[in-house]
Amino acid sequence: MTTALQTKEDQPEYLTNTQGHLVPLKLVPDIDKDRESLINEIFSNAIELRDQMITFKQSAMGDVHAFVELAAEKYGAKVGGKKGNISLLNFDGTRKIQIQIAEHLHFDERLIAAKALVDECIHEWTADSNDNIKALIEHAFQTDKEGNLNTGRVLGLMRLDITDEKWIQAMAALKDSMQIVGSTSYIRLYQRASTDTKFQAVSLDMSAV
């Protein structure tokens, strides 16, 4: 990694300002040139570190999957297709590696039908009651600034033990509207001093170290 600011020999003859104009370097104040050099150095180091983390993630996940396949082969089994969640624990139980797969859900136009049926249920149930149930369910269908639903809240509706026929029909429409459009793989590392203590995450998040 770079350990010093850019020297005068390394600097370009011009710098581009925020309006997109080329400004001759001799007309740029020294403090602006030093700031430019510092920012470029930090960004260069950060990008290099990010690339190292990408390489580490790919290598570590590949090694774990290869180990799982090797273990399966010893029993004459073949692990093919999409890999699921994996947890590995070291011999003394103080280090753990977890690989988790998070699926990305998309709700198609049938969500509108599900919401209409849910609204009918709310209207019938709350005719002589308070608005707590209505507020709870409407909260599940709220979207963020990008228009995306919180899938956790929506899926939470499907876990409610409600036997109303119209509600069951709404949940069927909700289930049919769900489509898996992708997934993200995570690798997480945990360690602890002994088996009598709780696992603590080995943070790879810059904001947490």
Residues contacting 28, CB < 8 A, separation 6+: 15
17 three-state secondary structure: coil
Instruction: Please write the tens of the pLDDT for every residue from 42-66.
Output: 999 999 999 999 999 999 999 999 9
Please give the pLDDT value at position 4: 45
Task: Look up the pTM and report it.
Answer: 0.66
Please give the pLDDT value at position 194: 93
The residue-averaged pLDDT of 115-138 equals 73
Please give the pLDDT value at position 121: 83
The residue-averaged pLDDT of 82-93 equals 86
Which of 20-34, 81-95, 141-155, 167-181 is least confident?
A: 141-155
Does the pLDDT at position 120 exceed 90?
no
- C-alpha angle 168/174/179, rounded to 5°? 145
Spatial distance between the Cα atoms of 123 and 131, rounded to a whole number of angstroms? 10
Q: What confidence category does residue 106 fall into, taking pLDDT thresholds of 50, 70 and 90?
A: confident
The residue-averaged pLDDT of 187-198 equals 94
Does the pLDDT at position 11 exceed 60?
no
- C-alpha angle 97/102/105, rounded to 5°? 175
Please give the pLDDT value at position 42: 96
The residue-averaged pLDDT of 81-89 equals 79
Average pLDDT value for the chain: 84
Please give the pLDDT value at position 34: 93
Helices (H), the chain: 30-73, 110-125, 132-140, 151-158, 165-177
Please give the pLDDT value at position 105: 85
Which of 9-13, 159-163, 175-179 is least confident?
A: 9-13
Contact predicate 166/120, CB 8 Å: yes
Spatial distance between the Cα atoms of 24 and 13, rounded to a whole number of angstroms? 6
Please give the pLDDT value at position 85: 87
Does the pLDDT at position 152 exceed 90?
no
